Structure 1
Amino acid sequence: MSGVGIGVAGLAVLFVLLALRVPVAFAMFLVGLGGMAILNDLPSALSLLASESFSVASSAELIIIPMFILMGNVATESGMSRKLYDSAYAWIGSIRGGLASATILGCAGFAALSGSSVASALTMGRVSLSQMNRFGYSHRLSTGAVAAGGTLGILIPPSTGFVIYAILTRESIGRLFMAGILPGIMLVALFVLTIWLIAIFRPADAPAGERTTWRQKWQATIGAAPITLIVILTIGGIYLGVFSPVEAAAVGAGLSVLFGFTLGEMTVSKLASAVMDTVATSSTVLLILIAASVMGPFLALSHIPAAVGDFLTGLDIGRYGVLMLILLSYLVLGCFLEGFAMLVLTMPIFFPVIVSLGFDPIWFGVVVVLTLEMGLITPPVGINVFIVKSVARDVALIDIFRGVFPFLLAMLAAVALLILFPSIALLIPQTMFG
């Protein structure tokens, strides 16, 4: 069997293992090691595993992941994340659809702390669903807004998705963080517009909330000031060159702990819980990255990336046609695979094609991460949908999927705008780095 044939067989085995619910990292370890042993020999495969495991685990850049995850966990444990929602609710909750819009804004603010879509959906689901239910929001809109708003965690910096993309492609983490700002704001605006349209055409689904006084508005805004300051310092510090992304992560995590204890919202037991959650999540991500470093050489040795590149470029459909095929493949894979798994599996194959076609790799990173977001709310996997279901136990799963459909259309519109106007993603990185 040729190298390409062995590579195809390895990918087939990988998808079978994933279908059997084998954890992504372990499935990639088995296929990568087995493939390397077949194409080369077992001692070299084991040597690769040892060297790559040490190389990935000792990478200084990876400290960004646990630091930003810790920052988000501390914000959740200390109640700072709820204050983001309370501030948005105080200003816009009294208009039709305002509670759902406040949920989107709260998710956006929390995303700027945690970089985790699952954490954003879970946290805001606990905070906002009860409020929307109290005022008679339709279950479709309330759960759909939480599930869709949670996807902002992978796009708005600091984003774990951008960190993994940068490590896999050797692009600048700082540039990717900056590239995600304007698309993130654009997607928030599109989500709010979606809610506004629903409130116009189906007003019973999105009733108005309670009115708040100016004093309540300012009190809520002041309550959200610490978390806002952390976001401004970390992201602004990266943009101005005061911090590297690694330093910004440490500063953000340290400030979140400091503010938590200073404001009396954090306890030692809550901090311990936040640390344990951080360790568990970071270990999962790190294991997937190590597995990807084993799987990558196997794919390269089998010449799968070159074969796919030759096939795509030989279709004679133009570079945007190739781009559409790649994005379509992400949408299809998103129905079955988790986002990080798609990144580590596909980047060694698709990234060389994108570079050879002359697309900007930073721009492509934003487009890919935005496309991966859709996988978080598409059936049958839709991780964020299941997270919201765990909070809203009385809502049928099919109703949550129906609720996210209008937001999926908004995300498709965002992808289209990024393709038509690449400067949306590239403007800030270009002003930062020249």
Structure 2
Amino acid sequence: MSQEVIGLVGMAILFVLLGLRVPVAFAMFAVGFVGNWILNSPAAALSQLASDSFSLASSAELVVVPLFILMGNVATETGMSRKLYDAAYATIGSIRGGLASSTVIACGGFAALSGSSVASALTIGRVSLAEMDRFAYDNRLSTGVVAAGGTLGILIPPSTGFVIYALLTQESIGRLFLAGVLPGLLLLGMFILTITILTWWKPAYGPAGPKTTMSEKGRAMVGAMPILLVILLTIGGIYGGFFSPVEAAAVGAGLVILFGAAMRRLSFAMLWKAAKDSVVTTATVMLILISAYMIKTFLALSHIPQALGGFLETLAVPTLGVLAIMLAIYLILGLFLEGFAMMVLSMPIFFPVVQQLGIDPIWFGVLVVLTLEMGLISPPVGLNVFIVKSVAPGVPLSRIFWGVVPFWIAMLITLIVLVLFPQISLLLPNTMIG
């Protein structure tokens, strides 16, 4: 049996295991380890397991993951995320669809703090869904906007998705963070435009909320100042060159804890819970990464990436066409696989092709992360949809999926724009980092 056939059999077994609901990390580890054992040797497979586990566990760059997760968890425990929503609500909540637009803005702000789509949807959903229900918003719009707004957590930096992509491809985390800023703001604007169009077409979808006085707006902004200051210092510090991403994560986590303690909103029990949740999440990420490195080596030994690159070259398809094919595959996989699983499975196959064709890896990273976001609200997996369902158990799942359709279309339009105009993604990293 040839190396390529062994590789294809291994991938088929992997998808069978995933179909049987075996956890992604365990499925990838089993296939990668056994594949390395067969194609190389038992000693080499065991040696790689030890070396990859140690190198990942000792990676300084990976420290940003637990620190940014801790920062978001502490902000949730202390109610700072609620203040962020209150500020957005006081500013634009009184216009038609304003509560939904406030939710998107709050999701974007919380995304800039936690880097997690699931955390953004869960945290902001708990706050905003009750408010939109109180003002008789159509539950398709209210749940759809929370599910879609939560996806901003994987694009607007600091993004866990960019960190994982950087570790898998050896690209700069700082450059990826910078590359995500303008696309993230563009997507946020597209979501607000979508809400505006929907509520103009059917005003009953999102009636205007109560008007707030200037003093109420001022109090809401003052309440949100601690969290806004943390976002400004951490993200601004990275872009201004004052902090590395790791240092910014440490500064942000420290500031959130200090603010929580100073305002007497953070008890030791709350800090312990936030820390414990952060450890569990980080351990999950580590398991997936170790498994990804195992399967990456297996695929390299099987020569599948080289065979795929050669096949695409024989098609005489232009580079933009190859890129479109890869993104289309991501969109299809997003119907069945969780986002990080898609990335760690596909990157060992697609990234050599990207390098071979001369596609900018930073630009490609932004496009990949955006397609992962789309998978978060695509049926039947749609992780964010199920997160929203847990917050709004009375809303049928089918209505939530219908509610995300306009936002999925907005994301597709954004993806097309970013493909056609790569400078949107590359402007900041190319001008701010030499």
Shared topology, TM-score over 0.5?
A: yes
The aligned counterpart of 1:14 is 14
Instruction: With the length of structure 2 as denominator, give the TM-score of the two structures.
Output: 0.99
Post-superposition offset of 1:43 = 2.2
Shift of 1:313: 2.2
How far 1:101 sits from its partner (Å)? 0.4
Alignment-mate amino acid for residue 156 of structure 1: I
Q: Secondary structure at the match of 2:171?
A: coil
- Matching residue of 1:124: 124
Deviates more, 1:53-62 or 1:102-111: 53-62
Q: Distance in 2 between matches of 1:414 and 1:36?
A: 40
Query: Structure 1 stretch 411-420 or stretch 384-393: which is displaced more?
Result: 411-420
Asked if 1:301 corresponds to 2:301, the answer is yes
Amino acid in the other structure paired with 2:432: M
Instruction: Work out the number of aligned pairs and report it.
Output: 434
CA drift of 1:356 comes to 1.9
- 1:3 deviates by 0.5
Q: Which residue of 1 aligns with 2:245?
A: 245
Deviations 1:211-256 (A, max 9, x none): 1110000110111111111111111111121111111110110001
Look up the SS of the partner of 1:224 in the other structure.
helix
1:255 partner SS: helix
**Mapped pair 1:349 → 2:349:** yes
1:419 aligned residue:
419
Task: Name the counterpart of 1:140.
Answer: 140
Query: Any conservation in 2 of the 1:313–1:322 contact (CA below 8 Å)?
Result: no
Query: CA contact under 8 A between 1:57 and 1:290: conserved in structure 2?
Result: no
Q: How far, CA to CA, are the matches of 1:10 and 1:82 in structure 2?
A: 47
Q: Distance in 1 between matches of 2:343 and 2:256?
A: 29
SS for the counterpart of 2:377 is coil
Q: Give deviations 1:6-43, integer Å, cap 9, x for gaps.
A: 00000000010011111111001100111111112222
Amino acid corresponding to residue 72 of structure 1 in structure 2: G
Give the AA of the match of 1:371.
Answer: T
Aligned to 1:56: 56
Q: Which residue of 2 aligns with 1:323?
A: 323
Residue identity matched to 2:429: P
Question: Is 1:74 paired with 2:74?
Answer: yes
Alignment of 1:171-182 (within 5 A): 171-182=171-182
In the alignment, the residues of structure 2 paired with residue 207 and residue 271 of structure 1 have an alpha-carbon distance, to the nearest angstrom, of: 39
- Once residues 340 and 322 of structure 2 are traced to their aligned partners in structure 1, the CA distance between those partners, rounded to angstroms, is 22
Q: Identity of counterpart residues, as a percentage?
A: 66
Cα distance in structure 2, aligned partners of 1:311 and 1:387: 40
Aligned to 2:70, the other structure's residue is in SS state helix
What amino acid maps onto 1:142 in structure 2?
A: S
1:292, distance to aligned residue in structure 2 (A)? 0.7
Matched, 1:47 2:47: yes
Q: Deviations over 1:250-297 (max 9, x none)?
A: 011000100111112111111111001101111000110011111111
Q: What does residue 373 of structure 1 align with?
A: 373
The worse-fitting range, judged by mean Cα deviation, of 417-426 and 102-111 is: 417-426
1:218 matched to 2:190:
no
CA contact (8 A) 1:234 1:249 kept: yes
3-state SS of paired residue (1:157): coil
Letter in 2 for 1:219: R
Partner of 1:30: 30
Offset, 1:420: 1.4
CA distance in 1: counterparts of 2:56 and 2:290, whole angstroms: 6
Instruction: Name the CA distance, whole Å, in 2 between partners of 1:307 and 1:396.
Output: 45
- CA-to-aligned-CA distance 1:345-371 (integer Å, 9 cap, x gap): 111111111122222111111111011
Aligned to 2:291: 291
1:409 aligns with 2:409: yes
Counterparts in 2 of 1:150-299, with a 5 A limit?
Answer: 150-299=150-299
Separation (CA, whole Å) in 2 of partners of 1:184 and 1:226? 22
Alignment-derived partner of residue 100 in structure 1: 100
What are structure 2's unaligned runs of at least 5 residues?
Answer: none
1:61 Cα deviation from its structure 2 partner = 0.7
Partner Cα separation in structure 2 for residue 176 and residue 432 of structure 1: 12
3-state SS of paired residue (1:312): helix
TM-score, length-normalised on structure 1?
Answer: 0.99
Aligned mates of 1:19, 1:188 — CA distance in 2:
34
Distance 1:337 1:285 in 2: 16
Query: Deviation above 2 Å: which 4+ runs of structure 1?
Result: none
1:83 maps to which residue?
83
Counterpart for residue 334 of structure 1 = 334
Amino acid at match of 2:158: P
CA–CA distance in structure 1, aligned partners of residues 267 and 313 of structure 2: 57
Mapped to 2, the partners of 1:312 and 1:284 lie a distance apart of 34
User: How far, CA to CA, are the matches of 1:359 and 1:264 in structure 2?
Assistant: 50
Q: Which ranges in structure 1 are unaligned for 5 or more consecutive residues?
A: none
What corresponds to 1:313 in structure 2?
313
Question: Could you tell me how far apart the structure 2 residues matched to 1:348 and 1:265 are?
Answer: 45
Q: Which amino acid aligns with 2:406?
A: P
Whether 1:394 aligns to 2:394 is yes
